[in-house]
Amino acid sequence: MTADVIVSGSLRNRLAFILTGGAALLAVILYVAVRLLAAQVAQQGQDNILNASMSSVLDTALIRDGRVTVDFPYSSLSMLNTAADDRVFYAIYEGENLLSGYDWLILPRDVLSERTHFGTTTFRGDPLRVATGSRVLIGSDGPRTVSVSIAQTQDALSDTLYSSSRSVAFLGLGFFLMSSALALWAASTTSGQMRRLATSVTRRGPQDLSPVTKPVPSEMAPLVGSLNTFMSRLDHTLSQSEDFIAEAAHRIRTPLATVRSHAEATLQRVDRTENRKSLQAMVRAIDESSRAAGQLLDHAMVTFRAENLEVSEVDLADLLDELVLSMTPVAEMKDITITMTLDRPATLQGDAILLQNALRNLIDNALKYAPAETDVIVRVSKSPSLSVSISDGGQGFAVDEIETLPGRFVRGKNMGNKVGSGLGLTIAQEVAIAHGGKMTLSNRKEGGACVTLSF
Amino acid sequence: MRYIVLLIALLTPISGSAQEWEDRRLFGASDQISLTILSSTDTSFFAPIIDDFIASNPNTSVEYLVTGTADLERTFRAAPDRFDVVISSAMDLQLKLTNDGFAAPILAEDHPEWAQWHDRLFAFTSEPAAIVINRRTLGDLPIPQSRQDLIELLRGHPDRFQGRVGTYDVRQSGLGYLFATQDARASETYWRLMEVMGRVGAKLYCCSGQMIDDLRQGKLVVAYNVLGSYARKQAETSGDLLVILPSDFPITMMRTVLVSENAANPRRAESFVRHLLTVQAAGDPKVFPLPPLVGDYDNEAQRNINLDPALMTYLDQMKREAFVREWENAIVQDE
């Protein structure tokens, strides 16, 4: 059924893709954001220590005997000790003159403010973080500015960043994996609802047009609602057309019977051979029409009842006894013997009226096609499964038609000038299917057709 | 080319070379120098280590050059490509050399973390500064056990000690300066001691060796801040010498080694340093006659000088000037 549906993508895959893609994006954003934050925090930490060190040096600056001296404590540099043994450089300037320290550590130009200036430079390829501050000392000859720069390599900082980056990367990966698992689970649960609905619809019998009653998620309600409406409309249309056919057949049958009795009466009164012939042809045609109307009625009834089987325990043998008894006069008229081989009791759970209808059609067919002075054999057997077979001594089925004969209004080539509507086998087959069985057509070795209903 | 120049320099008499070494010795049979070590440690301490190194690395010949710590730093800074390995007891100068990028990194993960700095500078001894006394010349006077004892002894008998007290000249000796600054950092007692020593006309020395020689010959009664390791070795041969670790707080220096960033033989230099650290860890006194590294001491006051950037504090020009000025005011009184 799904073979001729045009498929474009998969809801589950789309959902899973969007969710995992989103999770990946979020994980990357998380990684970048936390890394940036960690870098900022780590840099802030280094800056704070550099600032403290720089201030402790600057604090010791004073003018002694007209000279600027800076007698900074041991702790100024020892506080810069790090686990990664970062290297430390410093420079102390008075104005533009280096008082002590490393002369290549040049003061930034815009240092003459109260606030500490932080900058980055390099020494032989190693990045250095520099904190610079300045202070104005008032000497006897006027104000003098002392500036101090403290620089430190960033090995410990990059170690910290590396380890925190690794932790964050693991965190992001874990986040992504968990989100992905969640996404796949969500996607498969969602699509599972659809699949369950599809399965429950697929599993229905061909005639089942009842609405879906299982609860469905709200998003699927419109689809299921439309499906239910569609099916009930279809059901309605089908039953309407069946009703119409049944009604039409019924309406035709009664006038036809009237016409037939008039034709029979007229036939009694007419003597001219050509008139009699045409009247006989008329009666034949009327028979054919009324039989067709009867079978249409039967068919409509079978179609209707097949959906609502009235199940009871039925003994096929009893049923056949009754049927054969009622049909014996017709058989005797054609010099046909009905032989029965019944394996009693042959009970099954089924609709007696439908079964009777089907079997009657089959025996009727057999009587119709069997030549005079032959046997029609009705056999019921219980092994391997319960089956009824009806065979005649006629011409049998044309081999190339066996597949198509049970179709509606299909009539065989071997029927000669027999009256028939092409519905008999259809009815029998539908009844068999409604009872969970099947109908098989075959030809007997000694000639003649055989129809088997197995349940 | 460099080897040839070096060879010529070595073959010419010492007086012809610009640099005057305290000692200079060649190890190994090979003519070509494959490792040049610049050191402040007496050759006698290093000879067994180098011999052991050559035994496991044949075809190696080592040139071992000895000079004072301050001179060593100046010489190396001026020509870092002339020397492969630098060994000095002046931790501050070594640390500054490393800080300034003169040392090459070496992976030594077995070496304790506290005994290395920046993967480039490795400590391999623990050597306290000691008070050394000539028992014979001290006579019946009590043996001082701490700085305070020494101050009282000198104050009580200035005539007995006049001109017979010795210590490092911090202006000449890098190690002397390190000991002095660490001493001064730890306690005010140092300045009082210097003052007292100045009053009795203390003699100033560039190196531990000369100080110990004068002690042994009886020219000195007491020497302050002498390298305990050197003094102990002399005390083994001379019964008169007595090495005392000040009970209040012995300053303990760690001898350090680094490989020049511009070493001509970096791989051999690195393997020598590894070898040095290995024999230090093995602690066989026949191969490693120096006092091995000690992390924890029984005396809680005794601690190794930390290998950290703070060592550069007293190397600051201004601080050094101020310290030396104060030191001179205390001890140099006979100008």
Chain A hits for B312, Cβ within 8 Å: 77, 88
Q: What is the pLDDT of residues A410-442, one digit of tens each?
A: 777 666 666 666 778 888 888 888 888 888 888
Question: What DSSP state is assigned to residue B255?
Answer: -
Chain B hits for A49, Cβ within 8 Å: none
Q: What are phi and psi of A339, to 5 degrees?
A: -105, 135
Q: How confident is the model at residue B279, as a pLDDT?
A: 94
- State the nearest Cα–Cα gap between B7 and chain A, in angstroms: 32
Q: How many CB atoms lie within 10 A of CB B29?
A: 10
CB contact under 8 A, B312 and A85: no
CB contact under 8 A, B318 and A85: no
Task: Say whether residue A74 is in contact with chain B using an 8 A CB cutoff.
Answer: yes
Q: Please, are residues B54 and B62 in contact by the beta-carbon 8 Å criterion?
A: yes
Torsion of CA B104, B107, B112, B115, to 10 degrees: 0
Would you call A432 exposed, middle or buried from its count of C-beta atoms within 10 A (0-12, 13-18, 19+)?
A: buried
Q: How confident is the model at residue B259, as a pLDDT?
A: 96
Q: How confident is the model at residue A3, as a pLDDT?
A: 52
Q: How confident is the model at residue B47, as a pLDDT?
A: 95
Residues B109 and B21 in one domain: yes
Residue B203 in this model has a pLDDT that exceeds 50: yes
Q: How confident is the model at residue B17, as a pLDDT?
A: 46
Q: How confident is the model at residue B18, as a pLDDT?
A: 61
Residue B244 in this model has a pLDDT that exceeds 60: yes
CA angle centred on B218, ends B212 and B221, rounded to 5°: 75
CB contact under 8 A, A70 and B318: yes
Q: How confident is the model at residue A384, as a pLDDT?
A: 79
Candidate from A58-72, B13-27, B256-270 with smallest mean pLDDT: B13-27
Residues B81 and B13 in one domain: yes
Residues B96 and B11 in one domain: yes
Residues, chain A: 455
- State the nearest Cα–Cα gap between A75 and chain B, in angstroms: 7
Beta bridge partners of B165: B222
Q: How confident is the model at residue A190, as a pLDDT?
A: 85
Q: What is the pLDDT of residues A105-163, one digit of tens each?
A: 887 766 556 788 899 999 888 999 999 999 899 988 889 989 999 999 999 999 999 99
Chain B hits for A76, Cβ within 8 Å: 310, 313
Residue B219 in this model has a pLDDT that exceeds 60: yes
Candidate from A67-76, B26-35, B99-108 with smallest mean pLDDT: B26-35
Residues B230 and B258 in one domain: no
Mutate to test the interface with B, among A85, A103, A146 (most CBs of B within 10 A): A85
Residues B189 and B316 in one domain: yes
Q: How confident is the model at residue A421, as a pLDDT?
A: 65
Task: Say whether residue A254 is in contact with chain B using an 8 A CB cutoff.
Answer: no
Residue B333 in this model has a pLDDT that exceeds 70: no
A78, closest residue in chain B (CA to CA): B310
CB contact under 8 A, A81 and B308: yes
Nearest Cβ partner of A72 from B101, B313, B317?
B313
Residue B1 in this model has a pLDDT that exceeds 50: no
How many whole angstroms separate alpha carbon A85 and alpha carbon A352? Answer: 101
Could you give the angle at which helices A316-333 and A352-369 cross, rounded to 10 degrees? Answer: 30
Residues B144 and B50 in one domain: no
Candidate from A339-348, A352-361, B12-21, B38-47 with smallest mean pLDDT: B12-21
Residues B225 and B289 in one domain: no
- State the nearest Cα–Cα gap between B311 and chain A, in angstroms: 8
Mutate to test the interface with A, among B119, B120, B318, B319 (most CBs of A within 10 A): B318
The range of the structural domain enclosing residue B296 comes to: 2-125+254-304
Q: How confident is the model at residue B11, as a pLDDT?
A: 45
Residues B158 and B240 in one domain: yes
Residue A282 in this model has a pLDDT that exceeds 90: no
Q: What is the pLDDT of residues A228-248, one digit of tens each?
A: 999 899 888 887 887 887 787
Residue A207 in this model has a pLDDT that exceeds 80: no
Q: How confident is the model at residue B6, as a pLDDT?
A: 47
Residue matched to tokens 């007229």: A266
A71, closest residue in chain B (CA to CA): B319
Residues B22 and B60 in one domain: yes
- State the nearest Cα–Cα gap between B280 and chain A, in angstroms: 23
Residue A113 neighbours by CB under 8 Å, 6+ apart: A134
How many whole angstroms separate alpha carbon A433 and alpha carbon A454? Answer: 10
What CATH number is associated with residue B267?
Answer: 3.40.190.10
Q: What is the pLDDT of residues B110-166, one digit of tens each?
A: 999 999 999 999 999 999 999 999 999 998 999 999 999 999 999 999 999 999 999
Q: How confident is the model at residue A2, as a pLDDT?
A: 46
Q: How confident is the model at residue A113, as a pLDDT?
A: 65
Tell me how far the alpha carbon of residue A255 is from its chain's centroid.
55
Residue B5 in this model has a pLDDT that exceeds 50: no
How is residue A201 written in tokens? Answer: 């619809």
Pairing state between β B121-123 and B165-168: unpaired
Tell me how far the alpha carbon of residue B206 is from its chain's centroid.
11
Residue B175 in this model has a pLDDT that exceeds 50: yes
Q: Please, are residues A451 and A428 in contact by the beta-carbon 8 Å criterion?
A: yes
Mutate to test the interface with B, among A87, A126, A150, A152 (most CBs of B within 10 A): A87
How many whole angstroms separate alpha carbon B218 and alpha carbon B241? Answer: 10
- Cα–Cα distances (Å) from B33 to A233, B22, B77, B103, in that order, read 107, 19, 21, 21
Chain B hits for A88, Cβ within 8 Å: 99, 309, 312
Q: How confident is the model at residue A330, as a pLDDT?
A: 82
ipTM of the complex: 0.88
- Cα–Cα distances (Å) from B137 to A198, A259, B129, B166, B238, in that order, read 113, 167, 21, 14, 13
Residues B244 and B269 in one domain: no
Q: Can you list the alpha helix ranges (DSSP code H) found in B36-108? A: 43-56, 69-78, 91-99
Q: How confident is the model at residue A260, as a pLDDT?
A: 87
Residue B49 in this model has a pLDDT that exceeds 60: yes
- State the nearest Cα–Cα gap between A55 and chain B, in angstroms: 15
Structural domain count of chain B:
2
Q: Please, are residues B169 and B177 in contact by the beta-carbon 8 Å criterion?
A: no
Residues B271 and B145 in one domain: no
Residues B185 and B323 in one domain: yes
Q: Measure the N-to-C terminal CA separation of chain A; round to a whole number of Å.
A: 27
Q: What is the pLDDT of residues B249-277, one digit of tens each?
A: 889 999 999 999 999 999 999 999 999 99
